[in-house]
Amino acid sequence: MSVKVAIAGVSGRMGRALLEAVAADAGCGLHAALDRPSSPLVGQDAGAAWGNASGVRVSDQPAAALAGAQALIDFTRPEATFGYLDACVAAKVPLVIGTTGFDEAGKARIADAAGKIPVVFAPNMSVGVNLLMKLAELAAQVLEDGYDIEIIEAHHRHKVDAPSGTALGLGQAVARAIDRDLASCAVYGREGVTGERDPRTIGFATVRGGDIVGDHTLLFAGIGERVELTHKASSRATFAQGALRAAKWLQGRAPGLYDMRDVLGLK
């Protein structure tokens, strides 16, 4: 029996990718399509944008649209996510959050809601990226001494947060593995006379341009050698497929805050 999925932000790039992924997945069915009140898509068939009628009209009323849904997938902006979060709690609908850019207060709000409904919250829904996170922990434990750690990420020109949530997730995975506090050891930019590199820091570099879907490289630079772990996304379909996998996994789960490592059994 297919999972009844609601999708938030259907006018966005990820919204469209999710609509296409649901249409192609026999294990899911589109239950509701949501967008902001000002969206020109409201009232239209959710598949009209690419000429593939879905039979579901886009709504700007989450409370009504979520009735009967078995999961909501949200890749929007933090301010929009909170509205969907509250609606899911009220309707007792499991939630998959792929939105990034939350501050600590926002993350705490999500954690609080997860005490009432099951939530998968991850900076990246890609199966490959989450495998990379696991490999990053192992590599960091082996290469902690004598290797400088840098994280380089690149995304399209429209991305509004930096570093990416995935880059920060990589940094957190590495820091956790070698017992460092990312908040105190991260370096997010270098300019001018910076002095020699502190070997205990974790550096971040950000590139924005064109239509880059998402590239992430974790670099361990030693004397005489470098080890690089890289993931490159060529299509948003990989994130959509991972999100659908999470939505299916949430069925029957107890309230709680989960991530993609839970979904993939990598913990």
Average pLDDT, the chain: 95
In terms of domains, do 112 and 142 share one? Answer: no
Show the tokens assigned to 263.
């979904």
Q: CB of 133 within 8 A of CB of 242? A: no
| pLDDT reported for residue 210 | 98
Tally of domains within the chain:
2
Q: List active site positions.
A: 155, 159
**With bands split at pLDDT 50, 70 and 90, how would you rate the model's confidence at 186?**
very high
pLDDT tens column, 165-180: 999 999 999 999 999 9
| pLDDT reported for residue 52 | 74
**With bands split at pLDDT 50, 70 and 90, how would you rate the model's confidence at 50?**
low
In terms of domains, do 88 and 196 share one? Answer: no
Percentage with pLDDT > 90 across the chain: 93
| pLDDT reported for residue 124 | 87
What are the C-alpha distances in Å from 214 to residues 62, 100, 154, 189, 251? Answer: 30, 13, 6, 20, 29
Q: CB of 14 within 8 A of CB of 240? A: yes
Q: Is the dihedral of CA 122, 123, 125, 128 positive or negative?
A: negative
In terms of domains, do 164 and 211 share one? Answer: yes
Q: CB of 239 within 8 A of CB of 75? A: yes
Longest dimension (CA), the chain: 61
In terms of domains, do 112 and 196 share one? Answer: no
Angle at 13 between CA 9 and CA 17, to 5 degrees: 90
**Residue 253: DSSP 8-state:** P
Mean pLDDT calculated for residue range 213-223: 97
Residue 142, amino acid: V
In terms of domains, do 140 and 60 share one? Answer: no
In terms of domains, do 132 and 104 share one? Answer: no
In terms of domains, do 97 and 224 share one? Answer: no
pLDDT tens column, 9-23: 999 999 999 999 999
pLDDT tens column, 78-130: 999 999 999 999 999 999 999 988 999 999 999 999 999 999 999 889 999 99
CATH code of the domain containing 162: 3.30.360.10
Report whether pLDDT(232) > 70: yes
Show the tokens assigned to 7.
């999708």
| pLDDT reported for residue 193 | 96
**With bands split at pLDDT 50, 70 and 90, how would you rate the model's confidence at 49?**
low
In terms of domains, do 142 and 188 share one? Answer: yes
Distance, CA of 53 to chain centre: 27
| pLDDT reported for residue 141 | 97
In terms of domains, do 70 and 146 share one? Answer: no
| pLDDT reported for residue 48 | 77
The torsion angles phi and psi of 266, rounded to 5 degrees, stand at: -100, 5
Residue 80, amino acid: A
95-97 and 118-121 beta bridge pairing: parallel
| pLDDT reported for residue 53 | 77
CATH code of the domain containing 116: 3.40.50.720
In terms of domains, do 69 and 189 share one? Answer: no
In terms of domains, do 113 and 134 share one? Answer: no
Query: What dihedral do alpha carbons 228, 234, 239, 241 form, nearest 10°?
Result: -120
Q: If you write DSSP's letter for every residue of 75-98 in order, what string do you get? A: -S-HHHHHHHHHHHHHHT--EEE-
The domain in which residue 197 lies consists of 127-233
**Residue 49: DSSP 8-state:** G
In terms of domains, do 73 and 152 share one? Answer: no
